[in-house]
Amino acid sequence: MLRSILHGKSRRAEGVNGISQSVGALFRNLEDARTSTIFERLTYFPPVIAWDLLRLSSKNAVPDFRLVELAEVKFWPKWQIARSGRKFVEPDVYMRWVVGDPSIIIDMIIEAKLPGAISQSPQQWLDQLEGYRDHFHAPEDSSINETDAAKTGVAQTVIHLSVDGLGSDPQSRQKLLVPTVVTKGLPAVRFVACSWQSLAEALDELGRLGRLEHVPNPLVEDLRKAFDYCGHYTFRISKSLFTQYLEIDFEDTISALNKWVLTS
């Protein structure tokens, strides 16, 4: 689908209020389309690279691990909040990571918004955490250590990642919005923020660091094109600039210098 949009082969579809729009315009303006396109491709990366991309994009708010495995991914999981009996929450992406040695489990809940206005909601974050707790049956007032987490399949840490919807400085804005009281019965909760732009910049930073050498180039370029199409451009320096060299003919150079000395 992405390629048909990039090459102008997608047609028009009914958009908001029944107004016909190009599929490309809808893609740019629908957060679910952007989320699935970016994060689907991210899950195809080697897990440690995908983790590092999230870490760099959040200014290292995601902890650093050398051993990383992506154990599970679900888009728009539907979790019921037990106390309501009817209310469901639906975060955009749920990821379960197994990291470190000895290994521990880190669950990640991702709520993505379109760039622009402050659209992230602390109450939505709390509802998602409550739905997560009730879905995974975390016991009330539980105390979870690393060993128990690895044995029982219960996460030691939950990272709630907000992607965009927090203005031009996501980390600072999120610190102001983080709830002072978090849902009980959860392991340690860490609130993290990034933006689509910082994700695009993190991808290029990994490239400059040589971390993408073992990732299939078509996959890297596909993700870059998706970011570009959504308007998340980054300043890129061509690799050829780092490989250029000046070829000098030594004998001709010395001969020219001698002539210059004799005639000067």
Q: pLDDT-derived band of residue 130, with 50, 70 and 90 as boundaries?
A: very high
Other CB atoms within 10 Å distance of the CB of residue 144? 19
> Using one digit for the tens of pLDDT, what is the confidence trace for 10-57?
555 455 555 555 656 666 778 999 999 999 999 999 999 999 999 999
pTM of structure: 0.79
- Better-predicted residue by pLDDT, 3 or 103: 103
The pLDDT tens digits of the residues spanning 143-193 come to: 445 444 444 578 999 999 999 999 999 999 999 999 999 988 999 999 999
Interhelix angle 217-229/31-43, rounded to 10 degrees, is: 160
- How does DSSP classify residue 85? S
Structure tokens at 96: 């379960």
User: CA 37, CA 227: separation in Å to the nearest integer?
Assistant: 9
**String of DSSP letters for 105-146:** EEEEEEEE--SSS----HHHHHHHHHHHHHHHTPPTT----H
